[in-house]
C-alpha cells in the first residue's frame, strides 16, 4: 500500500511539473505544417522530441497546422496525445506566415524558435544560437555567413536565392545575407511586438496552395525598423526535394510583396519605432 501511494505521489508530481513547464517554459518551438505525410514518415518529430527531452530547461512544442488536407492534422493530434509538451494548433489554410504567427503568439516561452517541419536545419543547431541570447533579441539562422553549410542544394535554387537577397538588401533589410532561412529565435518581447505588427502576412485569407513568400522579409524589416538587436548565425541546412516551390510564380509574388512592405511602411501601416 505504501509503495503504491509513493508511486501515485511521484506520478502526480511528474504531471504537475510538466504542466508547470508548459505554462512557463524557457523555450517554445513552433513548427508549421501543411500536408506533411512524407516528412512524418521520416520521423522528424521524434528527432525534435529526442533532443528536447535531454535538455535541462523547460520547453513546449506547438505544431501549428496550416489547414492540411492529407490527414496530417490527425497524425499530429495523435502525436501530441502521446508526447507531453507537444500541442496542436489548427488553422485555416492561409500560408506559412499567418501559421507561424499563430503559433508564435500562442507560445508562452521566454524564447521562441520557429523551425521548418522537414528539419532541413536540425533542431540541434539551436545550440549555436545560445551564445547570442544575452546580446540579441532576434537570432536568425543563416546559410550564407561564414561557417554555414548547405547540403545538396540545387544550383538554380541557390541562384534564385541570391538574386532575391540582392533585392531584399536593396529594398528592405540592408546587410542581411539570408532572410529566408526557416530557423529563427526570438525573445518573448520581440515576438509579441514583431508578429503583432505584421501587415502583409498578418492576416488569414484563404489560399489555394502552399506558399512561404516574403514573410521572413516583413518580419526582419520590422525588427530593423523597431531597432531590435539582431544577428545572423551560421547553421547547417539540408535540402529536401519539394514540389511546393514554383520559381516563376513564387519569385514574382515575393517581389510584389517586398514592394508592398515598402508601401505599407510609407503609408503608415506599421506603428512608429
Q: What is the mean pLDDT of residues 7-31?
A: 64
Coil/strand/helix, residue 96: helix
Q: What is the CATH number of domain 25-266?
A: 3.90.550.10
Strands, E, within 152-201: which ranges? 183-187
Segment (H or E) for 31: strand 27-33
Q: Considering only CA atoms, which of 117, 165, 167, 127 is closest in space to residue 143?
A: 165
- CA 102 to each of CA 36, 168, 193: distance values in angstroms, whole numbers, following the listed order: 18, 25, 13
Grid coordinates standing for 268? Answer: 503608415
Q: Which residues contact 170 (CB under 8 A, 6 or more apart)?
A: none
Question: The cell 512544442 sits on which residue?
Answer: 61
Per-residue pLDDT reduced to its tens digit, 152-194: 655 555 556 666 666 776 777 888 888 888 999 999 999 999 9
Question: How confident is the model over 186-218, as pLDDT tens digits?
Answer: 999 999 999 999 999 887 655 555 556 789 999
Amino acid at each position: 500500500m505504501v509503495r503504491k501511494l509513493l508511486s501515485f505521489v511521484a506520478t502526480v508530481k511528474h504531471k504537475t511539473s510538466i504542466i508547470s513547464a508548459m505554462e512557463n517554459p524557457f523555450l517554445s518551438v513552433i513548427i508549421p505544417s501543411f500536408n506533411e505525410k512524407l516528412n512524418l514518415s521520416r520521423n522528424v518529430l521524434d528527432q525534435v522530441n529526442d533532443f528536447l527531452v535531454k535538455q535541462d530547461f523547460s520547453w513546449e512544442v506547438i505544431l501549428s497546422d496550416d489547414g492540411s488536407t492529407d490527414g496530417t492534422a490527425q497524425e499530429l493530434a495523435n502525436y501530441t496525445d502521446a508526447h507531453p509538451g507537444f500541442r496542436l494548433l489548427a488553422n485555416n489554410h492561409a500560408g506559412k506566415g499567418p501559421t507561424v504567427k499563430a503559433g508564435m503568439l500562442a507560445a508562452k516561452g521566454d524564447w521562441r524558435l520557429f523551425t521548418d517541419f522537414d528539419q532541413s536545419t536540425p533542431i540541434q543547431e539551436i545550440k549555436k544560437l545560445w551564445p547570442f541570447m544575452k546580446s540579441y533579441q532576434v537570432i536568425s539562422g543563416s546559410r550564407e555567413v561564414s561557417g554555414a553549410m548547405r547540403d545538396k542544394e540545387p544550383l538554380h535554387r541557390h541562384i534564385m536565392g541570391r538574386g532575391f537577397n540582392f533585392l531584399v538588401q536593396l529594398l528592405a533589410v540592408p546587410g542581411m545575407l539570408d532572410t529566408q532561412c526557416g530557423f529563427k529565435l526570438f525573445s518573448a518581447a520581440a515576438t509579441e511586438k514583431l508578429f503583432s505588427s505584421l501587415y502583409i502576412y498578418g492576416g488569414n485569407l484563404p489560399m489555394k496552395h502552399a506558399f512561404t513568400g516574403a514573410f521572413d522579409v516583413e518580419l526582419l524589416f520590422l525588427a530593423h525598423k523597431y531597432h531590435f538587436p539582431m544577428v545572423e548565425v551560421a547553421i547547417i541546412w539540408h535540402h529536401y526535394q519539394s514540389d511546393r516551390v514554383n520559381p516563376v510564380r513564387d519569385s514574382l509574388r515575393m517581389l510584389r510583396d517586398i514592394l508592398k512592405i515598402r508601401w505599407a511602411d510609407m503609408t503608415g501601416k506599421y506603428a512608429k519605432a
